[in-house]
Amino acid sequence: MGGDMMKMMQEMMERHAGMMSGMTGGGMMDRMMSPEHVEGRIAFLRTELKVTDAQQALWDALAEAIRANAGVAGETMSGMQGGGMPMGPEGSTAPERIEAQVTVLSARLESLRRLNAALAPFYAALDAAQKDKADMLLVPAPMGMM
Protein backbone atom coordinates (compact mmCIF):
# COMPACT_ATOMS: atom_id res chain seq x y z
CA MET A 1 0.00 0.00 0.00
CA GLY A 2 1.04 3.57 -0.55
CA GLY A 3 2.30 5.69 2.32
CA ASP A 4 -0.89 7.76 2.51
CA MET A 5 -3.10 4.68 2.72
CA MET A 6 -0.92 3.12 5.43
CA LYS A 7 -0.98 6.35 7.41
CA MET A 8 -4.75 6.58 7.10
CA MET A 9 -5.20 2.98 8.25
CA GLN A 10 -2.87 3.51 11.20
CA GLU A 11 -4.82 6.63 12.24
CA MET A 12 -8.09 4.71 11.95
CA MET A 13 -6.73 1.91 14.12
CA GLU A 14 -5.50 4.41 16.73
CA ARG A 15 -8.89 6.15 16.80
CA HIS A 16 -10.65 2.78 17.13
CA ALA A 17 -8.33 1.75 19.97
CA GLY A 18 -9.00 5.08 21.68
CA MET A 19 -12.76 4.64 21.36
CA MET A 20 -12.60 1.11 22.69
CA SER A 21 -10.40 2.02 25.65
CA GLY A 22 -12.63 5.01 26.36
CA MET A 23 -15.60 2.68 26.64
CA THR A 24 -14.16 0.76 29.53
CA GLY A 25 -11.51 3.08 30.86
CA GLY A 26 -13.82 5.32 32.88
CA GLY A 27 -13.18 8.44 30.80
CA MET A 28 -15.56 11.41 30.64
CA MET A 29 -17.36 10.11 27.53
CA ASP A 30 -17.78 6.71 29.17
CA ARG A 31 -19.41 8.28 32.21
CA MET A 32 -21.66 10.52 30.09
CA MET A 33 -22.91 7.57 28.01
CA SER A 34 -23.29 5.20 30.96
CA PRO A 35 -26.73 3.79 31.82
CA GLU A 36 -26.69 5.78 35.07
CA HIS A 37 -26.77 9.01 33.05
CA VAL A 38 -29.37 8.05 30.45
CA GLU A 39 -32.01 10.48 31.74
CA GLY A 40 -29.54 13.36 31.53
CA ARG A 41 -28.58 12.31 28.01
CA ILE A 42 -32.26 12.18 26.99
CA ALA A 43 -32.89 15.62 28.48
CA PHE A 44 -29.82 16.99 26.69
CA LEU A 45 -30.94 15.57 23.34
CA ARG A 46 -34.50 16.85 23.76
CA THR A 47 -33.23 20.35 24.54
CA GLU A 48 -30.66 20.42 21.75
CA LEU A 49 -33.17 19.17 19.19
CA LYS A 50 -35.81 21.67 20.34
CA VAL A 51 -38.56 19.03 20.30
CA THR A 52 -41.94 20.65 19.67
CA ASP A 53 -45.28 19.69 21.19
CA ALA A 54 -46.29 18.16 17.86
CA GLN A 55 -43.16 15.95 17.91
CA GLN A 56 -43.51 14.91 21.57
CA ALA A 57 -45.18 11.52 21.05
CA LEU A 58 -42.51 10.50 18.53
CA TRP A 59 -39.81 11.81 20.88
CA ASP A 60 -41.27 9.77 23.77
CA ALA A 61 -40.96 6.58 21.69
CA LEU A 62 -37.33 7.43 20.87
CA ALA A 63 -36.57 8.20 24.52
CA GLU A 64 -37.98 4.79 25.51
CA ALA A 65 -35.73 3.09 22.94
CA ILE A 66 -32.73 4.99 24.35
CA ARG A 67 -33.65 3.86 27.88
CA ALA A 68 -34.04 0.24 26.78
CA ASN A 69 -30.69 0.37 25.00
CA ALA A 70 -29.03 1.88 28.08
CA GLY A 71 -30.12 -1.14 30.09
CA VAL A 72 -28.71 -3.50 27.49
CA ALA A 73 -25.49 -1.47 27.32
CA GLY A 74 -25.12 -1.66 31.10
CA GLU A 75 -25.50 -5.42 31.07
CA THR A 76 -23.06 -5.72 28.17
CA MET A 77 -20.43 -3.45 29.73
CA SER A 78 -20.52 -5.46 32.95
CA GLY A 79 -19.46 -8.53 30.92
CA MET A 80 -16.53 -6.82 29.20
CA GLN A 81 -12.91 -6.75 30.22
CA GLY A 82 -10.12 -4.30 29.40
CA GLY A 83 -10.23 -4.12 25.60
CA GLY A 84 -13.93 -3.60 25.22
CA MET A 85 -14.89 -7.08 24.03
CA PRO A 86 -16.00 -9.97 26.19
CA MET A 87 -13.19 -12.31 27.07
CA GLY A 88 -15.15 -14.91 28.99
CA PRO A 89 -14.06 -16.39 32.30
CA GLU A 90 -10.38 -16.76 33.05
CA GLY A 91 -9.07 -19.71 31.07
CA SER A 92 -12.01 -19.80 28.69
CA THR A 93 -11.53 -21.49 25.34
CA ALA A 94 -11.41 -19.79 21.97
CA PRO A 95 -14.92 -21.03 21.05
CA GLU A 96 -16.25 -19.71 24.38
CA ARG A 97 -14.69 -16.30 23.76
CA ILE A 98 -16.08 -16.22 20.22
CA GLU A 99 -19.54 -17.12 21.55
CA ALA A 100 -19.28 -14.31 24.12
CA GLN A 101 -18.52 -11.88 21.29
CA VAL A 102 -21.45 -13.21 19.26
CA THR A 103 -23.73 -12.57 22.25
CA VAL A 104 -22.52 -8.99 22.69
CA LEU A 105 -22.71 -8.18 18.98
CA SER A 106 -26.18 -9.72 18.70
CA ALA A 107 -27.38 -7.54 21.58
CA ARG A 108 -25.81 -4.51 19.91
CA LEU A 109 -27.55 -5.29 16.61
CA GLU A 110 -30.90 -5.60 18.38
CA SER A 111 -30.27 -2.28 20.13
CA LEU A 112 -29.55 -0.57 16.82
CA ARG A 113 -32.70 -2.02 15.28
CA ARG A 114 -34.79 -0.84 18.25
CA LEU A 115 -33.20 2.62 18.04
CA ASN A 116 -33.73 2.89 14.29
CA ALA A 117 -37.39 1.81 14.53
CA ALA A 118 -38.07 4.73 16.90
CA LEU A 119 -35.69 7.17 15.24
CA ALA A 120 -37.00 6.93 11.67
CA PRO A 121 -40.50 8.37 12.33
CA PHE A 122 -39.13 10.97 14.75
CA TYR A 123 -36.48 12.07 12.25
CA ALA A 124 -39.10 12.35 9.48
CA ALA A 125 -41.03 14.84 11.66
CA LEU A 126 -38.03 17.15 12.16
CA ASP A 127 -37.45 20.40 10.30
CA ALA A 128 -34.20 21.02 8.42
CA ALA A 129 -32.38 22.65 11.36
CA GLN A 130 -33.43 19.85 13.71
CA LYS A 131 -32.27 17.24 11.20
CA ASP A 132 -28.85 18.89 10.98
CA LYS A 133 -28.55 18.75 14.76
CA ALA A 134 -29.88 15.18 14.88
CA ASP A 135 -27.32 14.10 12.30
CA MET A 136 -24.60 15.21 14.72
CA LEU A 137 -26.12 13.94 17.96
CA LEU A 138 -28.16 10.84 17.28
CA VAL A 139 -25.61 8.42 15.88
CA PRO A 140 -24.32 6.05 18.54
CA ALA A 141 -20.67 5.25 18.92
CA PRO A 142 -19.55 2.07 17.16
CA MET A 143 -19.92 -0.08 20.27
CA GLY A 144 -21.54 2.36 22.68
CA MET A 145 -25.01 3.54 23.35
CA MET A 146 -26.52 6.71 22.04
pLDDT for 35: 76
Q: Is 98 part of a structural domain of the chain?
A: yes
pLDDT for 28: 38
Mean pLDDT of 80-108: 77
Has residue 41 got a pLDDT over 70? yes
Bridge partners for 85 per DSSP? 81
Q: Give the domain range for residue 58.
A: 3-137
pLDDT for 83: 47
Q: Is 145 part of a structural domain of the chain?
A: no
> Bigger pLDDT: 35 or 131?
131
How far is residue 87's CA from residue 75's CA, in Å, rounded to a whole number? 15
Q: What percent of the chain has pLDDT over 90?
A: 51
Query: Structure pTM?
Result: 0.65
Q: How confident is the model at residue 10 (pLDDT cuts 50, 70, 90)?
A: low
If one counts the domains in the chain, the total is: 1
Amino acid at 131: K
Has residue 9 got a pLDDT over 60? no
Q: Is 86 part of a structural domain of the chain?
A: yes
How far is residue 5's CA from residue 90's CA, in Å, rounded to a whole number? 38
Mean pLDDT of 74-80: 56
Question: Which whole-number Å values give the CA distances from 62 to 15, 102, 136, in the listed order?
Answer: 29, 26, 16
Classify the phi-psi angles of 37: left when phi > 0, otherwise alpha if psi is within -120 to 50, otherwise beta: alpha
Mean pLDDT of 77-97: 67
Q: Is 7 part of a structural domain of the chain?
A: yes
Q: Is 143 part of a structural domain of the chain?
A: no
pLDDT for 74: 61
Q: Is 58 part of a structural domain of the chain?
A: yes
pLDDT for 76: 57
Mean pLDDT of 61-79: 79
Q: Is the dihedral of CA 83, 86, 87, 93 positive or negative?
A: negative
The upper half-sphere exposure of residue 55, i.e. CA atoms within 13 Å in the direction of its Cβ, equals: 21
Q: Is 56 part of a structural domain of the chain?
A: yes
